[in-house]
Amino acid sequence: MKLLGIDYGRRKIGLAVSNGKLAEPYQVIRYKDTEKMIAHIQRIIEKQKIEKIIVGISEGEMGEESKKFAKIFKANTFDETLSSHDAQQMSIQSHMSKKKRKEMEDAFAASIMLQSYIDHV
């Protein structure tokens, strides 16, 4: 089953994909227009033939926003607590350049969240 993991943010969305047992960072979408961002994700879903979508949920206000966002795609939700922190630490340990870390940080966070989902299902 092909999965799409989404790390929702107010200005950036991190995406990760999995076609089996391993999640991989896919893309970061920077946006100002929510409708255009949603249409962009819809195109990715169609192009990649995504069968299931998982949106990471944190605590507090952002968690509530993420739940509303998940409903748009009829997505499942999964706890993403500390996925962004873990993504930063892993990219530092891999000696990735600071510029590359900043560009892909949200996609790495999405892949960590999606991998956790895969491991727990």
Three-state secondary-structure class, residue 27 = strand
pLDDT tens across 68-112, in order? 999 999 999 998 765 555 555 565 565 556 565 566 788 888 998
Three-state secondary-structure class, residue 16 = strand
DSSP state of 54: E
- Strand arrangement of the beta sheet that strand 23-30 belongs to: 23-30, 12-18, 3-7, 52-57, 76-79
Q: Would you state the pLDDT for residue 53?
A: 98
pLDDT tens across 5-63, in order? 999 999 999 999 999 999 999 999 999 999 999 999 999 999 999 999 999 998 889 89
Could you tell me the two tokens for 92?
């530092």
Instruction: Supply the range of the domain harboring residue 8.
Output: 3-120
